[in-house]
Amino acid sequence: MAENPATGWWGTLRLIRLHFFGRLSDLATQVPSRCAGETPHAIRQWLAEDFPELAVQLNEPQVLVSVNHCIVDWQTPLTDGDEVAFLPPVTGG
Amino acid sequence: MAENPATGWWGTLRLIRLHFFGRLSDLATQVPSRCAGETPHAIRQWLAEDFPELAVQLNEPQVLVSVNHCIVDWQTPLTDGDEVAFLPPVTGG
Amino acid sequence: MLTTLRIQAEDFDLAEQYSLLRSSSPATTEIGAIVTFTGLVREFEPRSRDHNDDGGALDGMRLQHYPGMTEKLLQGIIDDAAQRWPLLAVTVIHRVGHLAPCDQIVFVGVASEHRQPAFQAAEFIMDYLKTRATFWKQITIDGQPRWVDSKDSDTTAARRWDAQCDG
Amino acid sequence: MLTTLRIQAEDFDLAEQYSLLRSSSPATTEIGAIVTFTGLVREFEPRSRDHNDDGGALDGMRLQHYPGMTEKLLQGIIDDAAQRWPLLAVTVIHRVGHLAPCDQIVFVGVASEHRQPAFQAAEFIMDYLKTRATFWKQITIDGQPRWVDSKDSDTTAARRWDAQCDG
């Protein structure tokens, strides 16, 4: 597994909590619940190294990303303590 | 009161049952429940002789007439035993 | 399709009607959506078009109908709805006689596989019931009874569905 | 406006919810219309887009959601509805966890003075709940769990309301 940037000594530490839902949750059982990353996009790229199957799903255009419960752009800058969730199309109701 | 054509000796006897609803029912309490008449229009004209206030209401364009529970034209020919009802705009629900 | 149609003086029980819709369709496990509409007597009625009163608090209401014709018209409305949408069960109950503020007047319940037919059929039935079914409301305000005027908005509501047919 | 919003594993009781809508609005005697929607688990699910199964009879279903975000999104949908229509009370209940065929999944109830706002707000809330609220269904057929695909028809349904804003 690639070194988790959250545990590295370099750069600013941005400890991000990760959540995966729907079909993504089945593919993300081995993903650490916290990591570092400058943007959701950077986290997705980091995940691709060790979880290629998950990364394919994360790259689907229908998958949205939220930060602290708000849907955001993949390039949104993250700050320490942010909660990032990867959301496949919802199917409730 | 004008002679009820249902009780006259002349012409074909067409004994028609009459019903009045909504605001018409308040104005028609003295109208006989049966009469004769060739069409709903003819009955309305006959009613005008003795019930002018009712006739004004019956001439309102929103008032519909039914024969045997079907909305019909005022010139529809009637036959013995028909049930004619005068229907102001409905207000149920 | 299970159809229940009742015109009655007695009140109705929503839970009982819902339970009937939910359980008595020939294909209960196909039901994915149940929409219910309940109409209630409001305490305040707007001013009448024809009278110079200011509206006011309702003492009560009397609902008159044309027995025989009303049932036929309501059945026709339900049949129309069933032609337009795939429905599994429909219930229509309309009360007649004397009603007080907050009383239930009318119930429409529709069960279908999906939500859109259920919503649309329930709204369609109410729109047509309001404009075509032979019921007349007489309200009493400050001891004065008067017949309720029909609403242009109801006629417009019913016409929406005609437009859909033409289109 | 009275708002009730619950995400829960337990079943809900329609009669209780109706009674709450009917009685607990600040202006109960103004309520003229109550619309309820109940979504139920159907026994048969259509074939998946991505899988080569034939669909089939459901063993059961599991509903996952995103705690915190779901409540926020549902509250936003209710607030949107209240901006668009004059509503007196709104209730939204969504179940999570394990469900069996015929179980109740979701309840939306709306009380208003008139029927059109009640119907439209209930349908609006369901359309947006289906396309925006963070719930995910996993169904099990013949012992095989699979995540349910989102429906294009739901996206189209939600877009109807966007179009109304533009117009």
In whole angstroms, what is the distance from residue A88 CA to residue A93 CA? 15
In whole angstroms, what is the distance from residue D74 CA to residue D121 CA? 13
Phi, then psi, of B74 in degrees rounded to 5: -65, -20
Handedness of CA B68, B74, B77, B79 (dihedral sign): positive
Q: What is the pLDDT of residues B34-59, one digit of tens each?
A: 999 999 999 999 999 999 999 999 99
From the list A6, A24, A22, the residue with the least C-alpha distance to A14 is A6
Provide the ipTM: 0.89
In whole angstroms, what is the distance from residue B86 CA to residue B14 CA? 18
CATH superfamily of this structure's domain A14-87: Beta-grasp domain (3.10.20.30)
The contacts of residue A38 (CB under 8 Å, 6+ apart) are A14, A77, A78
Q: Cβ of D108 under 8 Å from any chain C Cβ?
A: no
Q: What is the pLDDT of residues A13-60, one digit of tens each?
A: 679 999 999 999 999 999 999 999 999 999 999 999 999 999 999 999
Cross-chain CB nearest to D136 (options A22, A62, A66): A22
Cross-chain CB nearest to D129 (options A22, A66, A92): A92
What pLDDT score was predicted for residue C26?
60
The contacts of residue C123 (CB under 8 Å, 6+ apart) are C37, D115, D119
Where exactly are the structural domains of chain B? 14-87
Q: Where are the beta strands (DSSP E) in D41-160?
A: 44-45, 56-65, 87-95, 97-99, 104-112, 135-141, 144-147
Where exactly are the structural domains of chain D? 2-44+55-160
Q: Which helix (H) or strand (E) holds C136?
A: strand C135-141
> Cα B59–C53–D26 angle (5° rounding)?
120
Handedness of CA B87, B88, B92, C3 (dihedral sign): positive
Q: Do chains A and B touch (3 or more CB pairs under 8 A)?
A: no
Q: Please report residues of C whose CB lies closer than 8 A to that of D161.
A: none
From the list C56, D36, C77, the residue with the least C-alpha distance to B90 is C77
- Using a CB–CB cut-off of 8 Å, the residues of B that contact C are 19, 21-23, 25-26, 62, 66, 69, 85, 87-93
Q: Do chains C and B touch (3 or more CB pairs under 8 A)?
A: yes
- Give percent above pLDDT 70 in chain D: 87
Phi, then psi, of B11 in degrees rounded to 5: 70, 180
Bridge-partner residues for D38, per DSSP?
Answer: C34, D107
Give the predicted TM-score (pTM) of the model: 0.91
Cross-chain CB nearest to D136 (options A62, A69, A91): A91
Of C137-151, D33-47, D59-73, the one with minimum mean pLDDT is D33-47
Q: Does domain D2-44+55-160 have CATH number 3.40.50.300?
A: no
Average pLDDT, stretch D67-84? 97
Six-digit token pair at D44? 């048969």
